[in-house]
Structures are given as structure tokens and as C-alpha cells.
Amino acid sequence: MTKFNSIIMRKLSAVLFLLFLMVALNTKAQDPSVNEKLTEVNDKVNGLLERLATDEADLSKLTKIKVSGYMQAQYQNFESPSLLNTSQNYFSLRRVRVKFTYEALDGIKFVLTPDFSPGAFSLKDAYVVVNDHWSKSFALWAGKFNRPNYEVEYSSSQREMVERSLVIRTLYPGERAIGAKLEYSPLNVPIKMQVAVFNGGEGQLDIRDATGAALNANENKDYDNYKDVMARVTYNLSLGSFGGLDIGAHGYFGALKSNAIKTLSSDYTTVKAVKIGDAIGRNWLGGEFQLFADILGGLSIKGEYIAGKNVLNNNMGYDYIPAAGTTAAKLGKYNFVNKFAGYYLYFIKNLGKTNQIAFRYDYYDPNTEIKGTDVKVKAYTSADPTYANVTSGKADLATSTFGFVLHHYFDDNIRISASYEIVQNEKVGVNASGISNLMENYTQADGQKVTNGLDYSKVINQNVFTLRIQAKF
């Protein structure tokens, strides 16, 4: 801005000087040569004025553009035994984002956010926001933006934990989706309401368990005629000098297109007939709160609970294995509908002006109808012989995560974080011989295969250490 201002001042000075010269020349005798010079000077002055007007217009456009961003470089160490054949520790760039915001007119804003992470370039945000000029309470969004949920909308550059909770990463991989949203925030009431309609899952985050199996690869693909509807409402309560409390709720109402003729329920016993192209519903509700207290240097407690019904369908269906006595001709596909529940709880405490500690416990159960001790138990299989070999497995086990983080703020732009997450799986039962109902093999770094190496009747070490430095501008 200083450079542009100095350019304008210099040009204004030149214009004033030329005007002064014109007045001085005009006081002399009006001979033809003087008139010609005055005409020439006048043309030059007009040219300068036109150039100045152009520069001012260009400068006005530039002042409407705001650029911000951040980079997160990190070192991670994974303790999972199933990763012995790969790198268990490495350096990486988690996020490299630049945000461009252009306010074309009062109340109209364009946002573009590319992510330049090596090998994973993507467009995170691309949307326009239009605010109404009458009540100043409504805003219309269109494009690609965050889904309406607290932890989803909470920026990764500000969040106290290095990653979002497992239930959020599983339900909303990539956080964003393409669609439209209407927001209502009345001026005199501390309430905010959001209603959005999306194409479906646009996530790019690949969530895997300790064995490397994808947890959310199927949720990332949702291109069909069934749209997802989301709604969220939050209300702010002032607690006076103590602090404030935000409470809210959100809901998701969507569907996936069936590419199979059967749907299997999460208890592995109920099989329903469907048609190709039918809508398989997936719906859930969640409640949230954020308590901010101005005591002992500042602390906050946050939490959210979400439960509902999800659908696993990768638009190709799932193969099932024919039971003994059946023929391969009955081999087909099926949808899997699972009832789930998950929640997280934060505790954040400031330590002086430059340090902060945070703790989070998050829990996600992908199948609330199957307990760990029920996994692989024969009683929990379908009576239909075609599906007799379709049984529960590690995808039905709940996961608990204890996360601890220490932040140090060098200034408003640099933050260093040390995080340690203790990940624990739900344990399965054992058979009459005392052998685990769920054992998995893996390969060591030397290529040797370990038979029955992962015993899910015990807690498998999946802990992760992260050291991250974040730079913002």
C-alpha cells in the first residue's frame, strides 16, 4: 500500500506542477507559439490524468484482495507393528495452503484455497458468499466449502489437536463438499442456523487402521442423483465475567445409490431385497457444546456426540463368498448398513501467554450392534445360506484415542506442537481353546511373514508421536 500511495503522490505533484505552468504561460502575450505550447501541455496533462485514473482503478481492485495461508511441516513416528515392512517415521508437509479472498462488492466475497502439499495438490475451497443488504442476517454460499459441523469448520491452523477426531474423519473425509448453503444470523439474537445441500462425499482424506485397511475409501465416492442435506444450529450463552457457552446440534440426511440387489444390516442377520438404483438411507444427528472460561489464564472444554446409520457402498457393492453347498452363480454384491456412534471431549488450558496444553478423548464405534466379544462368533451370521460366510470383523471394532498436545507460540505466526496419541482397539473374545477369535498376519521389514501376529483379543499398539511446526501469514 505504501508503494502505491507514493506513486499516486508523485503523479499528483506532477499534475499540479503542470497546471501551475499552464497558468504562468497564460499570463504572457498570446502569440501563436505560446498557444501551441499550451495545447501540447494540456494534452500531456490529460494523458497523465487518464493514466492516474487507470492506476487508481487497478489499486482499488488490489485492495479488495486478501491473501493468507499457512504451512505445517512435521515429523511422525508410528508404533504399529503392522508397519514394520514400511517406514515407521518420516518427515512430511501436512498442509501447505494459500487462501485468496476477493471482496468484489460490499457483501459479496469469493474464496479460493489451493493446497500445495507435495504429491497431493488439491483445491480445498472454491466458493462465493452473498450477504443480503436488507436484514443483514442471511448469507448464501455456493461452491466447494466445509460441511456444517463444529470440528469440520474449525480451521486446521487453529485447532488444538493435530488432526480431527476419528468419528469426524470417518463421516466427513476431506471435510468439504460441493453444493449450496443458506445461513441465518439475526443481528440481535446470538443464534446461527445453517442449511446446506451437497452432491455427496468429496473427501480426499484416506483413513486407514493399524493393518493398512481403508476405513473410509467408500465414503469418498458419492456421485448420483441423491443429494445430501445438512443442517446445523448453534446458540451462544453469555456467562458474564466467567466466560461463555456455545451449544448446538447438527443433522445429516443423505443416501447412496444401490448397485446391489441385497442390503445386509449391521447385526449380520437381516438381509433385505433392494433394486439397482434404490436409495439406501444414511442419516445421523449430533449434539455439541463449547465452554470458554476466563479463569486461571483461560481454559475451554468442548465436546460432541454423533450417532446414526451409515452405508458402506463403493458403487460396486461388496462380494460375498458362497457358503458350502452353494454355487458360484450366486456370487453377488450387497450393501452394508451399520449403526454407529462416536464422540470426543476436549480440555484446553493456557499456560501463560506463549504455551498451551490440550487433551482430547475420542471414541468411535462403527457398529453399535456388534460388541467386541461378538466378533467372528457364528451366532451373528445370516440364516440365509448365501450370506453364511459373511461375518463380522475388525471393521466392527470400536477405537478409543487419548491425545495429548503441548503448544508453544513464538509469536502470532509461529507455533510448535508436540503430540502423542494413544490408540486402543476394542478387544475381541477367545474360543474354547483360548485362541483369539480374530488374528491377522503381517510382514516384517526383512520380508518374513508373521503368522497370527496381530491378536485382537489384546490392545494392539497403534500409538503415534507428532512434532509439528506451523507458520502462518
Q: Which three cell numbers stand for residue 424?
A: 486402543
Amino acid 463 reads N
Q: Tell me the pLDDT tens digit for each residue of 153-165.
A: 999 999 999 999 9
> Are residues 324 and 242 part of one domain?
yes
What's the Cα-to-Cα distance from 27 to each of 20, 23, 33, 97, 425, rounded to whole Å? 11, 7, 14, 62, 95
Query: Of 63, 84, 105, which residue constitutes the final position of a domain?
Result: 63
CATH number at residue 243: 2.40.160.10
- Return the number of other C-beta atoms located less than 10 Å from residue 356's C-beta: 21
Q: Indicate the pTM of the whole model.
A: 0.81
Please list the residues that pair with 195 across neighbouring strands.
Answer: 182, 231
The better pLDDT of the pair 155, 261 is held by 155
Amino acid 342 reads G
Is the pLDDT reported for residue 450 higher than 80?
Answer: no
Q: Which three cell numbers stand for residue 348?
A: 484446553
Question: What value, to the nearest 5°, has the Cα angle with vertex 341 and ends 315 and 406?
Answer: 105
Average pLDDT over residues 116-138: 91
Average pLDDT over residues 206-218: 49
CA dist 419 and 466 (Å) reads 5
Mean pLDDT of the chain: 82
Start-to-end Cα distance in the chain: 17
What's the Cα-to-Cα distance from 210 to each of 217, 275, 346, 449, 467, rounded to whole Å? 15, 35, 24, 16, 20
> Are residues 392 and 296 part of one domain?
yes
The backbone torsions φ and ψ at residue 227, rounded to the nearest 5 degrees and listed phi first, read -95, 155
Question: Are 364 and 308 contacting, i.e. CB atoms less than 8 angstroms apart?
Answer: no
CA dist 238 and 234 (Å) reads 13
Query: Nearest to residue 199, comparing CAs of 172, 170, 229, 171?
Result: 229
The better pLDDT of the pair 53, 225 is held by 225
> Are residues 9 and 129 part of one domain?
no
> Are residues 433 and 374 part of one domain?
yes
Tell me what pLDDT residue 190 has: 96
> Are residues 87 and 235 part of one domain?
yes
> Are residues 155 and 90 part of one domain?
yes
Query: Of 63, 78, 98, which residue constitutes the final position of a domain?
Result: 63
Is the pLDDT reported for residue 356 higher than 90?
Answer: yes
Structurally, how many domains does the chain consist of?
2
Which range has the worst mean pLDDT, 7-21, 290-304, 374-388? Answer: 7-21
Tell me what pLDDT residue 259 has: 74
Query: Nearest to residue 140, comparing CAs of 148, 150, 128?
Result: 128
Residue 32's pLDDT band (boundaries 50, 70, 90)? low
Burial pattern 101-124, b for ≥16 Cβ within 10 A else e, equals: beeeeeeebbbbbbbebeeeeeeb
Q: Tell me the pLDDT tens digit for each residue of 62-75.
A: 678 899 999 999 99
What's the Cα-to-Cα distance from 105 to each of 98, 128, 186, rounded to whole Å? 22, 12, 21
Q: Tell me the pLDDT tens digit for each residue of 74-115.
A: 999 998 776 655 668 889 999 999 999 998 888 899 999 999
The CA-based dihedral angle spanning residues 367, 371, 374, 379, taken in that order and rounded to the nearest 10 degrees: -60
Query: Nearest to residue 207, comparing CAs of 216, 198, 196?
Result: 216
Helix, strand, or coil (residue 117): coil
> Are residues 427 and 361 part of one domain?
yes
- Return the number of other C-beta atoms located less than 10 Å from residue 143's C-beta: 17
Q: Tell me the pLDDT tens digit for each residue of 278-308.
A: 888 999 999 999 999 988 888 999 999 999 9
> Are residues 75 and 45 part of one domain?
no
Query: Nearest to residue 371, comparing CAs of 339, 343, 325?
Result: 339
Tell me what pLDDT residue 205 has: 36
What's the Cα-to-Cα distance from 4 to each of 7, 13, 63, rounded to whole Å? 5, 14, 11
CA dist 425 and 209 (Å) reads 10
> Are residues 215 and 329 part of one domain?
yes
> Are residues 115 and 58 part of one domain?
no
Residues contacting 95, CB < 8 A, separation 6+: 70, 71, 72, 115, 117, 156
Average pLDDT over residues 48-59: 61
- Return the number of other C-beta atoms located less than 10 Å from residue 39's C-beta: 10
Question: Are 390 and 335 contacting, i.e. CB atoms less than 8 angstroms apart?
Answer: no
Side-chain half-sphere CA neighbours of 434 within 13 A: 0
Domain boundaries, position 283: 64-472
Q: Which three cell numbers stand for residue 202?
A: 468429496
> Are residues 54 and 149 part of one domain?
no
Tell me what pLDDT residue 336 has: 87
435 burial via Cβ count (<10 Å: 0-12, 13-18, 19+): exposed
Tell me what pLDDT residue 150 has: 97
> Are residues 72 and 37 part of one domain?
no
Query: Of 63, 80, 112, which residue constitutes the final position of a domain?
Result: 63
Burial pattern 310-340, b for ≥16 Cβ within 10 A else e, equals: bbbbeeebbebebbeeeeeeeeebbbbbbbb
Tell me what pLDDT residue 218 has: 44
Average pLDDT over residues 125-133: 94
Tell me what pLDDT residue 29 has: 47
